[in-house]
Structure formats: C-alpha cells, structure tokens
Structure 1
Amino acid sequence: MNAKSWFNLHSWAGLFLGVLLFVTCVSGTLATLSHELEYLTDAKYRALSSSTSTNYSAIENTLNKCYPQAQILYIQRHKQDYLATEAALKVGDSFRFVYLDAATGTLLGEGEWARISRFLRNWHMNLSMGWTGKLIVTSLSVLLVILLVSSFYVYRRWWQGFMKKPAALSLDKRSSWADWHKLFGLWSLWFIAVMAITGIWYLVEHGLQTANVPHTVSLPQAVSDFKKQRIEKHLSPISLTAAYEAAKQAFPSLDIRYIRYPNKADQPIEVRGYNDDILLRLRANRVYLKPSSGESLGIQKGEELPIVARISDTADPLHFGNFAGVGTKLIWGLFGTLMSFVSAAGIYMSWLRVKRKTTVVKWLGVSGGIAIGLVVASLLITSLSFTERSVPNQVYSPILG
C-alpha cells in the first residue's frame, strides 16, 4: 500500500463510526473516574479516613441498629481507601445502597441503584443495549487497531514529532488541527494500544460467551458437591463478621474487599479480595464458604489462574487503570481525554477538508447517520434504564437487627 492508500484507510476508520468512537472514548474516560466524580459531588461517598483496615464488626453493628429487618446482599470496599464502603441491602422488596466508613462503621448516607458510576458503566459497556450493544462497542476496537497501525504510515518520520511545537489552534485552519491531532496522537500511542488490545480481548470474550465456550475457572468440587446436598431448613446463615473471620482463616494473606451472600441455603458465600498480585481484578482471588457454618468450600488464587482466565482478570485493570491507586486512574483519565481529543480533531479535520464541496448530511453518509443514531438512542435508553435494579425474592443472609 502506498501513502495515499494508508491515508484513505486511516480516514475511513476514523469516520466510519467516528462519532460513536468519540463518545465511547469520552464515556470510558468518565467511567474511569466515576467514583471520584461521586466523591466530589456528595460527602456520603467519602470515607472519614484513608485507613486500610476494615472493621466488619462495627459495620455490622451499624447496619443492625439502623436497618432492622433488612438483609445484606453484598458489601464492598473499593481499592481506593478514600472511598466509602458500600453495603447493598434488601429492604422489604426494594434495593438500597448504604455507605459507611470502613474503619469505624460510621453511617455516611444511603442511596438508590442509580448513580453516576452506574450510568457511565452501562453507557460505556454496552450502550445499555445488552448483547447487541456489547458487540458494537467491542467491535470498535478493530477500528482502533486500524487507526493505530495506519498512523505510522500516514505520519512520516513520526518519531521526530514528539517535541515538535504545534501551530496556534485556529477554528477554521485544518493545518493547526492536524498539528495538535498528531502531537496528542503520538503521546497517546501507548494508551491507544492498551485500549485496542483490551478491546479486542473483550470482543473475543464476548464471542466465547455467546458460543458457550468454557473460558473461566470452574467452581471448586466441594462447592458443586455442596449444591447437591440436602440442606436442613432450620440452619441460619452466619453473620457478616463471622464470614470475614472464616475467610481470613482460610486465606490469611487475602485483603478482603467483597462479601456476597447467596440467594439460597445450598449456595456458598463468596468472598473476594486482593493478594499482592500484579494487574488482577477483585474477583481473581476468592473464598467460598458454607453459609450456615463458615466452613471453607474452596479457594481460588489469582497466582494459580490458567492463562485465559488470567487474561480475563487482567483486562479490566489495564483498561480502566484501576490497579495502583488514584495516581494511575488520573493518568488513564488524562490520556483518555487526549484520546478523545484526537478522535474529535480527526472528525473535524475531515469536515474542514470537504465543507466547501458538500453538505453535512452527505459528508456523514449512512455510517455517520447510524453512529449518531446509536449515540442518541444509547443516551436515551441509559437515562431510562440505569435506575432499574430488582432484588431477589429471597436472600440467605441474616435478618439485621
């Protein structure tokens, strides 16, 4: 391929669904910092201190006192210790988030399922369109790969451009936009590559899930055997504190961050946490407990994961930068912003190139119209659906109070 062919390919990939690609970059950038955005908007999302210890006994006492007759669905403490710990409760037939300080158990506030992080997650992950939306979003990674590879051929001697001073940005001057497009694109190459690679994995994973191809770690045999046993109905589920202590005894090095109660007595309590692993999400390390006694039914360690499961549990930390505190999240947020600008600048440069010869409608074409339609539809659907959260009819967890 000659230089012109590479340029045409680069332009096509940037414009084919360019508006949708730009919106996906923006929503992903905001989703990366969504909990920090909540932190800034409301005090209930802020822990009182950045203590690394979690006082489950104090948390349970607070829940017993303030929410009698409710039941715990799950409790989670974020990797960032400045964020409040979240307890998801079944209160009657409704769902409620309760926010607490991890170290003291102090009640900080409560809220519904709808919040900034939920809106951004639904919008970015699948446009709130389920299976089809997930396919559309993950397929955009193919365009990213094309844009990444073609950029090296479009921008000759690109390695000399990192320190090249760009022209002053002028609204109607395409060359000035090109300078900034190239500069920010060069500095964002590593980040675009990370987004493209993880996006391709999400696309592959979506295909594996659709085809029902096994690619995750199987449950421990003891868990499977436990589900087949006859459970005596008079047995009560163990307390939150007892679940924590049982999991800690079974997996002493685990930094426990998540405890989920089952819906039924023949299902295990699942405990998740971190274990000094590199680039693994929360669910890579797990302890399964018998809900009526706390007996360990099995342990999953991230360091022992097979290759495909390891890739799956590494993709999220790499994609969102949630692996080393607020510092990496801010870096991901910065380069996500640069990537969004590169996308928007490319679209705008294309319009400046042809605006004297055509109309906006003709320039956008069918693919551009589809992209805009998907963006509008996704915003509407997300706005209408992100508040929805049903609760199970029954939960096998202690009745608080």
Structure 2
Amino acid sequence: MTASRIRAWAFVHKWTSLVSTLFMLLLCLTGLPLIFQHEIDEWVGASAGPAAVRPGQARASTDRIAAAALADHPGKVIQYLGWDLHEPDAVFVILNDAAGSHPNASVSSVYDANTARRLGPPGSAFMGVMLRLHVDLYARLPGKLFLGAMGTLLVAAIVSGAVLYWPFTRRLPFGTVRPERARRVVWLDLHNLLGIVTVAWLTVVGATGVINTLSEPMINHWKATELGRMIAAHAGPAPARLASLDAAVARAREAAPGMTPGFIAFPGTPFSTSHHYGVFLRGTAPFTARLLQPVLLDGETGAVADTSRLPWYLTTLLVSQPLHFGDYGGMPMKVIWALLDLVTIVVLGSGLYLWWSRRRRPAPARAVPAAGAASA
C-alpha cells in the first residue's frame, strides 16, 4: 500500500473514531447491563416471577388476564397484550388513555399466566433508563437516527482500522505487546491487538445497531404499505363489543399453523384497524421465534379477515435485534457478549488516550501514525 493511501486511510480512521468514540462508549456502558436485563430485573426484585403451578392447574384465560388489567388500571384501555419470550408464564399488558395514544404515555404491567395475578411493572427503573439512553438518548426518532449515524461512523472506523493493521504491524509477530517500550507504545500495541481480535464481533454489533436505529422508519413504511393495504381493505367502525381474546387467538393459530401468539394489538392501535384485532404470531424454534406473522381478525366476531408475511426488511430488523444483544444462545452467549463489550470499552478508551497523548507531544517529534492509533 502506498504512503498516500495509508495517510488517507489513517485520516478516515482518526476522524470517524474521534467523532463516534464518546457515543460508542456510552452505548457500550449502557449495553452491558442490557445484555443481562432479565437477570438484573430478577436480582433487584423488579420481576416477581410467576406463581408456582399446582398439578392439574389450568392456565388463566387471556380474557381473564385482560379483565384483571382493566380492573387494576381504571379509566385505561388495553393497547397491547403479549407473551414474554423469555418468561412463558408471564403476560405483559400495555394500557393507555385511548387506543391511539402515544406509546410514551402508556403504562405496562406483567401478569401471571397461570393465576392472572399482577406481578408488577415489566422491569426496573434503572433498566428503563439504560434502555432509553441506549436506544434514543431520550430524544425519540432524532436520537435514534443520530446514534445510527454514530454507528455508521463506527463501522467506517472498524473497516479503516482493519485496512491499516497490516501495513503498521507487518514487521511484528501477531499479538506483540512491547512492555519495555514507552507507555504510549504499549497502549498502541494493546489497541491494535484487541481491535483486530474483536473486529468481526464489533462489526456485527455495530451493523445490527445501525439497523435497529432504523426500526421506526421501517415500521412506519410497512404500516403505510403492506399493513396499510390490509387495513384499507378491512376498514370499519369501532366494534360495539369485543370478541373473546381466546377465541381470536385460537383462530389466528389456525390461520398460521405451527406458530404461537406473540402479542395482540387491540382495535384502534397502530398495528391493527379501528375494527380489528391484530394478532402477531411467531415461530417456535430459536430463530423463527424472532419472526412475526400478522393476522387481522374481526373485533366483534373474531373471524380471520387477512394475514400476510412480513417484508424482508422487517425480517432483517427482527433478526438483528437479538443478535445485537447476544440474545440467541442463552447465558453462555450473553457472557461472551459482555466480555467482548468490555474489551471494546478498552479499545475505545485506548484510542482516545493515544490521540490525546499524541496531541501533547511536541510537533517535531510526531511521526506517521501507527496502526490503530487512528483513533489516535
């Protein structure tokens, strides 16, 4: 590689790293507890856990759980009711002042699927803060898009760092750390080594993070196209009386064999029509459990009105979400994700240190940046 190309790649690596590093550190720090969200909520007592099931005890009906939620929240209406993927004996219910009210004004509760007993909120306040900071910085869509832009810069920094790795380390054995050299050289060696070791993982997490920041535009596009056509074909007045939720779910499962219900969108919510339930079913295998198929059902009779598969871009989104948090392989994968997250924090922090220490050096002593000093 020519010297001019090396300088060009070093320029790209330096500035994409500098612009994005502080925000990536924030995402790494908030993402670390989110990897263990369910475990932390149980540890702090935010998740009460379902009651023990007695032999021969039947599960509570969905209608009974919905009635309990309405009784516990007077004046509210149910927007969504669903089944937790990680806690099969827990049912979450999202309520609001009206079916079409903004999600940020909603309240959520978790119910025991066996007794219909209210277990409490779906998570701790701490995890709620971590999630909002990680997802949108409390800035809604502009915050999501901003973090998506930072994630794009991160991917550019990763690619440019990988390109620079070979020219600046070709004379050193792989994994060399020179403790006898100056502190800055030691950190440079560690930065290069940890960066190249985590390059594949960090690229996956960065790319899936960027995809996740586009969830709102993707869903809005789907609602305006495929779902919009389904809704337009079955528009109608608000149902005078809602059909049984259990009957609606049973018919939805008949329309999508081999799938299990994920959540129900009540009439008037953004994922249904003013007259229909939207029952979203998912597969039963670890991979297909992330994929959803919507079924529209008449809100008064529970009869199936329409169903369709999700478009490819929403399938990509649903697959990328658990991959981003290491949520596919149980606790072993979560531990691996957490360790790699910690290594990434070291890579980002060392990059800032290399850049700052180089700025403090006298101008004549500055040399061509070494591998990875990029962020330097």
CA distance in 2 between counterparts of 1:190 and 1:27 reads 21
The partner residue of 1:314 within 303, 314, 319 is 319
Instruction: Give 1:347 shift.
Output: 0.9
Question: What is the 5 A alignment of 1:144-163?
Answer: 144-156=154-166
The number of equivalent residue pairs is 345
Instruction: Give 1:215 shift.
Output: 9.1
The answer as to 2:79 corresponding to 1:73 is yes
Q: Is the 8 A contact 1:75 1:87 kept in 2?
A: yes
User: Which structure 2 segments of 5+ residues have no match?
Assistant: 364-376
- Residue 198 of structure 1 corresponds to 208
Instruction: Give 1:237 shift.
Output: 0.6
CA distance in 2 between counterparts of 1:72 and 1:215 reads 20
- Residue 195 of structure 2 corresponds to 185
SS of the residue corresponding to residue 219 of structure 1 reads helix
Residue 34 of structure 1 aligns with an amino acid whose one-letter code is Q
Question: 213-222 or 128-137: which moved more?
Answer: 213-222
SS of the residue corresponding to residue 254 of structure 2 reads helix
Instruction: Give 1:137 shift.
Output: 0.7
- Residue 238 of structure 1 corresponds to 243
CA distance in 2 between counterparts of 1:281 and 1:156 reads 41
Q: Is the 8 A contact 1:217 1:309 kept in 2?
A: no
User: Which structure 1 segments of 5+ residues have no match?
Assistant: 359-401
The answer as to 2:25 corresponding to 1:22 is yes
Residue 316 of structure 1 aligns with an amino acid whose one-letter code is Q
Residue 185 of structure 1 aligns with an amino acid whose one-letter code is G
Instruction: Give 1:344 shift.
Output: 1.7
CA spacing shift, 1:220–1:73, aligned 2, 3 Å: closer
The answer as to 2:107 corresponding to 1:99 is no
- Residue 31 of structure 1 corresponds to 34
Instruction: Give 1:214 shift.
Output: 6.5
- Residue 252 of structure 1 corresponds to 257
The partner residue of 1:57 within 51, 55, 60 is 60
The answer as to 2:294 corresponding to 1:291 is no
CA spacing shift, 1:155–1:295, aligned 2, 3 Å: same
CA distance in 1 between counterparts of 2:51 and 2:161 reads 47
The answer as to 2:352 corresponding to 1:347 is yes
- Residue 13 of structure 1 corresponds to 16
Instruction: Give 1:273 shift.
Output: 3.0
Residue 76 of structure 1 aligns with an amino acid whose one-letter code is G
SS of the residue corresponding to residue 234 of structure 2 reads helix
CA spacing shift, 1:167–1:76, aligned 2, 3 Å: farther
Instruction: Give 1:150 shift.
Output: 1.7
Q: Is the 8 A contact 2:277 2:297 kept in 1?
A: yes
The partner residue of 2:280 within 235, 250, 272 is 272
- Residue 175 of structure 2 corresponds to 164
SS of the residue corresponding to residue 307 of structure 2 reads strand
Q: Is the 8 A contact 2:41 2:123 kept in 1?
A: no
SS of the residue corresponding to residue 98 of structure 1 reads strand
CA spacing shift, 1:221–1:352, aligned 2, 3 Å: closer
CA distance in 1 between counterparts of 2:174 and 2:293 reads 43
Q: Is the 8 A contact 2:162 2:196 kept in 1?
A: no
Q: Is the 8 A contact 1:222 1:297 kept in 2?
A: no
SS of the residue corresponding to residue 57 of structure 1 reads coil
Q: Is the 8 A contact 1:272 1:283 kept in 2?
A: no
> TM-score under structure 1 normalisation?
0.70
CA spacing shift, 1:297–1:189, aligned 2, 3 Å: same
Over the aligned positions, Cα root-mean-square deviation in angstroms equals 4.1
- Residue 338 of structure 1 corresponds to 343
Residue 291 of structure 1 aligns with an amino acid whose one-letter code is G
- Percent identical among aligned pairs is 20
Residue 191 of structure 1 aligns with an amino acid whose one-letter code is W
Instruction: Give 1:38 shift.
Output: 1.6
- Residue 147 of structure 2 corresponds to 137
> TM-score under structure 2 normalisation?
0.74
Instruction: Give 1:203 shift.
Output: 6.7
CA distance in 1 between counterparts of 2:287 and 2:225 reads 17
Residue 98 of structure 1 aligns with an amino acid whose one-letter code is S
